[in-house]
Structure 1
């Protein structure tokens, strides 16, 4: 039985808020004959608090879905300051000490890993895993969720000459050139990583578990048209643009349109203040991933919003978009480039340019006034797209093939 070590600082199990890609991949690989160890931080990214560990515990383990899951201690942080960098550094140090110790003991006893898979966006942790793999003499595979440091340049306004960007670019090149294979979640990212040294790339996007996200009939309530946003409330998500669109809609005859925001993030309090006085906007707390299918099924449309950042035109693979496809919910997207193009090409919803609240309001009103028959046709097309391209079952099967190919070399 091959053994895989899978590392992502922000990995979650389904009862926690946040992304669960590593859990879903690991559980799928266990079903296909792998022994999988996942190493993640116990400090939850969404809630900014420890979920399992209590002082002075440094780690704990459990076995969800047959996975050997290790929760590691890291230093806490609240905002995007030096404490966040310390948080990342502490995870790297903990990884280095624990994985080297466990790995060398495993080599003696025959229980070490056959392969290490590290998932970004945390490049320092992935870079640490590259050197752990080399020390243990096992192959290394890199999964790229977000393109660091490019996102810091395009979205964060960092200079390419800044010390942080240059350090991350150096790590990035070492990772791409040192990995046996680089898995990209966004199809458009393949060229990016190849230009920076990747020898072999594979596109394995985010995608829904079709057994959990089942095709659901459209809501029966015709008096209210509910638009749901579920995800991070950060600067990149441009939800201020959505609030302004909601304000425009409340001032028109489209007063039956309601917006629900589920999640958390650094911009949430500012958004709540911006939405004061709007009866058509409601904010709710983040919920575990396991509750998302039922919540999304109650909506009439699912919203995906991002700022107009060059990287987002080709380098994103948004979970909630593909979850909506699987449920059969029309989508509303404001992501210039590949995402808006896909929605328009497959006719699974409506689009608007990013940063254009009037255009977004017009698009939402257009969808709300679309006949039920046409929205049901959108639902069928979306479900077909989920089944043929984005299903978690297809992605996990391809992951199994890829990783077995790597260890067979």
Structure 2
């Protein structure tokens, strides 16, 4: 193994923590529709997804290369910059999980990396063409392409139902859902696990432990695959609820069409090295499947809040990470302050989530749309957006976050989630 300094070790551990949050945050992408239609029991579904995420992590390194070699210039990037990027990404993942919104872990990571790099070395540290061609364009195209494909596939499946018995077709589509959910999980491993591989590889290059232009070492691939698999097994139950029944009511035919369409888009993007958001692709496919069934509807109030969260992901993570990088410029005291701030914020969010629990026993219960208020995401991220001043260890408390996220804690009809 390469020579690892203490700071570099902290960065690597933090990257694996991000990978873990990515796992439970994105479990819904693969398994929400399978769970909501009853094709698989919740715990069986997340266990299957975890195994296939691990397998997928070993299938390609193209996306990892985009993160480690293309998004930012390796020259001048220090481990502190990468640590700051991970702070913003982790906090955005946890805040959006707390309020039950499917947002992109991938874009949170890339937003954090861009914000920290710009704060450290200026705009020249970011490769703008890569951001546009391999991040922004796929971010817009993925939900549209997956949504249209899922809508057309749903229409076709319902037409086929006239030629076979309804009961027989329902059983067949549930079996198809299991297969397609496995394909999405595999695709998620090939795309999202690689992002952590890329960020760790970038940290190793920045710390002088790897030569510039190196591919991820084997131990990086293994550890990233294990971290995302363990996070996936825990299950992000509240986001599963939103994806499975909050956007639309899905029948097995729709679930099969949505997952197959999303998996196709994700796998294609992985082969091309596009750092695609699996959340965007899967959410778009779910909405397309909802529109494809006659009489089907999409709950646009929930979808609108989700779109707002998507738009805020890059800038919000970038803002937090830029602030963290500026604090850490003061030296060891700043690094300690940001570390304490991150740990305290994570603990506070977890404590709030425990007030009302959503788990595998109640994930399919209907969630009230009115529980999620507009502005919750922005007020929540504001509570953790500014790291403490250098030389302090002020922490965000349970009471601080409770005051800023009333909708996530005060509505008894829409329980907050626990991992």
Higher helix fraction (1 or 2) = 2
Same-fold call, TM > 0.5?
Answer: no
Give TM-score scaled by structure 2 length. Answer: 0.27
Give TM-score scaled by structure 1 length. Answer: 0.27
